[in-house]
Structure 1
Amino acid sequence: MSEVREFQLHDRLAADTIDLGSSRLCEIRLMNERTWPWVVLVPAVAGIREIYELSGEQQQRLMEESSALSRGMMELFSGDKMNVAALGNMVPQLHLHHIVRFEGDPAWPGPVWGKQHPVPYADDELATIRQSLAPVLSLLK
């Protein structure tokens, strides 16, 4: 008899991000890094490392949620570029980073990884970003 595994968020994602709720497919997480507007979608499917491992329906839903999140974040933050990435080199669990970039930001035009130590949100900033993102996240339901 095969073992059924339940979805569990990777420890590193749990430590580095803040829960913003869930969509029909994904856990929605805010990267605890105030330098960039940065939201991570984690498909709530056990044992998935790559997009192609999702069912066709799940792949389509992930792209719909990612596109809606990207569009909403760009409109909300008036960014110059939306970076979407599913690297998984440090955290093997499938997750998609959505990072609003601005010309002249601390890492522009390069990637954000490793440019500086993370600057976590203060409590009041966290409340503000949650409130700002609420209408965008409602698009993912």
Structure 2
Amino acid sequence: MAFCLAKELQRDCIEIAHWPLCKVLLMNDNQYPWFILVPQVEGVKEIVDLSDAQQQTFWQESAKLSRLIKAVYNPDKLNVAALGNMVPQLHVHHIARYQTDVAWPKPVWGLFPAKPYTEAQLQQLRQRLDQAL
């Protein structure tokens, strides 16, 4: 069975990159630098469902994304979480948080309506990420 990204992630996110194991997505909400790693393995719900080699690659890619977010955004806190109650497909959130963001110190999920990125904001974001890579 071929990998297919969950419809909720397709609807709510923008694809930023394809790494060896994961798709790198950007949540289309400009209130937070909010990225999501999705292993491109069909039917996986939990990190432990990945093979040992896939788990190693996943953690390397998660660390790479975390370092990238810290370098580009310099957050007060970097939240990394795998929930999956609403979207069972394995996906791991990497969210830069600031004491000045609209949801601080609460979780970002469902607290405020999303504010989509403009094309200009997306272009600037991609340039910043490309420079950091």
Q: TM-score range by the shorter chain?
A: over 0.9
Q: Find the counterpart in structure 1 of residue 75 from structure 2.
A: 79
Identity of aligned residues (%): 47
- Tell me the SS of whatever aligns to 2:20: coil
* 1:14 aligned residue (10, 17, 42): 10
Spell out, residue by residue over 1:61-84, the C-alpha distance to the aligned partner (whole angstroms, 9 max, x if none): 111110111111011111010000
Runs of 4+ in structure 1 deviating by more than 2 angstroms, as ranges, are: none
1:52 deviates by 0.4
Q: Find the counterpart in structure 1 of residue 51 from structure 2.
A: 55
Q: Find the counterpart in structure 2 of residue 121 from structure 1.
A: 117
1:135 deviates by 4.1
Distance 1:78-1:43 versus aligned 2 partners, 3 A rule: same
* 2:27 aligned residue (31, 38, 59): 31
Structure-1 separation of matches of 2:110 and 2:27: 14
* 1:103 aligned residue (84, 88, 99): 99
The root-mean-square deviation of aligned C-alpha atoms, in Å, is 1.0
Structure whose alpha-carbon radius of gyration is higher: 1
- Tell me the SS of whatever aligns to 1:39: strand
The size of the alignment, in residue pairs, is 133
Please, which runs of 5 or more residues in structure 2 have no aligned partner? none
TM-score by length of 1: 0.91
